[in-house]
Structure 1
């Protein structure tokens, strides 16, 4: 079973960081917002380093996009191949059963 990863918007992250800086208590802010404490700590770290900005989110890397597209296509192709292998096995067993 795959673990579902939550994605938070950039605005939510920035507001959570500013709220935690105002209050000073990371644990209570994280619990109040319903997020993991470690996530908030990482967001604060990225914010201090200047990595939690809109420019970082908007940047477009065509090589990375192509890689993600190809990986998705490969996954779909493998799934189709596995389905066809199973179908061939089923039809072969039915054919042999008939004779």
Structure 2
């Protein structure tokens, strides 16, 4: 992507979305910008951006919690196996 110098695939992975979806969004944005010469966001677009940023933050928090739970479960299984095998 031109602002970050990252590939679409890399940015999509960072965002946790499909690369094709991001490419479609970028194409839609490019077309919208060609039609809208001032480049200003409408009120509804600003509201949507705020909503999406809030949702992304919530998902990041949930992901971190799930990763922590996964790690605890992994450690529990390792301890259980060691105990069961007498190691």
TM-score, L = length of structure 2: 0.50
- 84 and 48 in structure 1: CA distance in 2 versus 1, 3 angstrom threshold: same
Equivalent residue, structure 1, for 2:10: 4
User: RCO greater where, 1 or 2, for CA within 8 Å and sep 6 or more?
Assistant: 1
Residue segments in structure 1 that go unaligned for 5+ positions in a row:
7-38
> Which of the two has higher C-alpha Rg?
1
**How far off its partner does 1:70 sit?**
0.6
Equivalent residue, structure 1, for 2:36: 50
Residue segments in structure 2 that go unaligned for 5+ positions in a row:
1-8, 13-25
Query: 4+ residue stretches of structure 1 with deviation over 6 A?
Result: none
TM-score, L = length of structure 1: 0.46
- Alignment root-mean-square deviation, CA: 3.4
